[in-house]
Amino acid sequence: MMPQAGPPDTSAFYHIAYTWVALLLVGYVAILWVRGRRVRALLRGARERETRATRGT
């Protein structure tokens, strides 16, 4: 009697793909978060400078 052949072992590709996709998405979110924080810090500083300049005049 022939042994029943199961599905081929292609799990390495699937593990790499799921890990890679998760890394891409998390990486983008992290980069966007850093960019957002930096711009907000600069915006806050610029507003404070503007407020001081307005009070000074």
Partner 1 sequence: MTSLSVAHQPRSNAAAPATVEQRPLFGWLFALAVVCTVAAYARAIYFTPIEALQGASQKIYYVHVSAAMSAYLALGILAVLSIVYLWIRDERADRLAESAGEVGLLFLTVVLTSGPLWGKPIWGTWWTWDARLTLTLFLWFLTAGYLVMRGAIEDTAMRARYSAVLGILAALLIPFIHLSVYMFNTLHPKPILLKPDRPSMPNEMLVTFFAMWVAFTLLCLALIRARYHYAVDRDALRALESGGGDA
Q: Distance between CA 23 and CA 25 in Å, rounded? A: 6
* Contact status: 18 vs partner 1 (CB under 8 A): yes
The single residue among 1, 3, 8, 57 that binds partner 1, judged by CB under 8 A, is 8
Token duo for residue 14: 């699937």
* Contact status: 40 vs partner 1 (CB under 8 A): yes
User: 4 by DSSP, 3-state: which?
Assistant: coil
The single residue among 1, 2, 3, 14 that binds partner 1, judged by CB under 8 A, is 14
* Contact status: 11 vs partner 1 (CB under 8 A): yes
